[in-house]
Structure 1
Amino acid sequence: MGATGLLYVGAVLFLNGVMILGRVDPKAAAVFNLFVGALQVVTPTYLIFTAGGDADVILNASGIYLFGFTYLYVGITLLAGLDSTGVGWFSLFVAAAAVGYSFANFRLLDDTPFGVIWLYWAFLWFLFFLLLGLKLDGLNAYVGWVTAIEGIVTAAIPAFLILSGYWADWNQTALALTLGIFGVAMAVVLLPLTHPHAHAPVPAAERGRPA
């Protein structure tokens, strides 16, 4: 994925996470989704046309469309006030495709960190399917936090490190392992913290009762 585009993927994921948490107006977030969605359609098109037939470049670029179309779809859905089920079921397709791109990064492109990062994205887009496609509203807080955190961990930070030249200096196996451990820890730790009943007020009738 183009590092510049990846940086703005981080920004839009963070913004969308905050929106899901109810801190940003959906129509305000929609505009930025359209900006990033357009960028993520133009970028892979340019990369493919200038790839000179390089199969690895084309493979890498093709995955970017999954995100570009997602953000365009989200932006239009929010602005037009459409039902979210379309985005949700498309997200299921993206989640399945992301597993394939993870395999490609591990086995074909020899890029283990992004193999792990694609698994992060597969998990996140599956959560979008549950929240938007199946309407599991109890996941709102969980999905919001996962989205915002993944925006920073899987996109903004890697993009900055790639653009500044530091990404290649890291041991790629150690980096992939660190990302994997953090991802599992994030997914597990956030579950109890964002459970709908975790911060529910204690009913007045229950207060003062002995344990």
Structure 2
Amino acid sequence: MSDVGLLYVGGVLFLNSIMLLGRVEGKSAGIFNLFVGVLQVITPLYLIFQAKGDTAAILGASGIFLFGFTYLYVGITNLCKLDTTGVGWYSLWVAILAIGYSLVNFMYFGDIKFGIIWLMWSFLWTLFFILLGLKRDIGRYTGFVTLIQSWITATVPAFLSLVGVWQGISLVWVWLVTLVAVVAFVYLYGASKKSQVTDKVTM
């Protein structure tokens, strides 16, 4: 994925997280999803046309479509007020594929950093499946996870790459941030379950 494209993935994840937390109206967020979705469909098409049969370049471009179609789907669903189950089940398919992209980065490209990031994205898409496809009440939890991931998997890596320092970032820092994020995800899940129990008791 291009650094510019990844930066705007961070932007749309940030906006969608605020939407899930009830601070942004769905239709308003839907418009920006369409903007980024179109960008993330045009970009891989261009990269594939320029690849001239380079399978590694085509593989890299193919992953961008996962984001592009997600954001187009979310944008259209929000703007037209459609049922979310389609987006949810599509997210399950993407979550499974994201594990494959993670393994490719770990095993074939030797890119540990993006191997970890793809695993993070797989977890996030799994949450979207549970929330939108299975209609489970995890909206606030998914919102907080999306908010964190908007920065650590997209915005910050993209910005550091744009200024030319991403490759120099030690793996120790990447693993440390990952560990802190996982602890935060576990804590937030526990907090969200306690909040749901409290709400039921007070009703």
Partner of 2:38: 38
Structure 1 position 186 matched with structure 2 position 184: yes
The residue identity in structure 2 corresponding to 1:187 is F
User: What is the 5 A alignment of 1:71-82?
Assistant: 71-82=71-82
CA shift, 1:51, in A, is: 1.9
CA deviation map 1:55-88 (0-9, x unaligned): 2221111101001000000000111111000000
The residue identity in structure 2 corresponding to 1:18 is I
Q: Scaled by the length of structure 1, what TM-score is found?
A: 0.90
Identify unmatched segments of 5+ residues in structure 1. Answer: 205-211
CA deviation map 1:96-142 (0-9, x unaligned): 000000001101111100000000000000000000000002x1110
Partner of 1:103: 103
Partner of 1:158: 157
DSSP 3-state at the match of 1:197 = helix
Q: 1:179 to 1:113 in 2, by over 3 A?
A: farther
Q: 1:198 to 1:9 in 2, by over 3 A?
A: farther
Partner of 1:114: 114
Partner of 1:89: 89
DSSP 3-state at the match of 1:50 = helix
Please, what is the CA RMSD of the aligned residues?
A: 1.7
The residue identity in structure 2 corresponding to 1:146 is V
For 1:177 and 1:145, locate their aligned partners in 2 and report how far apart those are by CA, in whole Å: 20
Partner of 1:145: 144
The residue identity in structure 2 corresponding to 1:150 is Q
CA deviation map 1:157-204 (0-9, x unaligned): 000000000101122x32442243133212212112223337649749
For 1:90 and 1:96, locate their aligned partners in 2 and report how far apart those are by CA, in whole Å: 10
Q: 1:203 to 1:74 in 2, by over 3 A?
A: closer
DSSP 3-state at the match of 2:91 = helix
For 2:93 and 2:202, locate their aligned partners in 1 and report how far apart those are by CA, in whole Å: 42
For 1:175 and 1:71, locate their aligned partners in 2 and report how far apart those are by CA, in whole Å: 30
DSSP 3-state at the match of 1:41 = helix
**Number of residues paired by the alignment?**
202
Partner of 2:21: 21
Identify unmatched segments of 5+ residues in structure 2. Answer: none
Contact preservation (8 Å) 1:113, 1:179: no
For 2:121 and 2:197, locate their aligned partners in 1 and report how far apart those are by CA, in whole Å: 26
DSSP 3-state at the match of 2:109 = coil
Bigger shift: 58-67 or 178-187?
A: 178-187
Contact preservation (8 Å) 1:192, 1:198: no
For 1:4 and 1:175, locate their aligned partners in 2 and report how far apart those are by CA, in whole Å: 23
Q: Scaled by the length of structure 2, what TM-score is found?
A: 0.94
Q: 1:92 to 1:201 in 2, by over 3 A?
A: closer
Structure showing greater Rg? 1
Structure 1 position 174 matched with structure 2 position 172: yes
DSSP 3-state at the match of 1:105 = helix
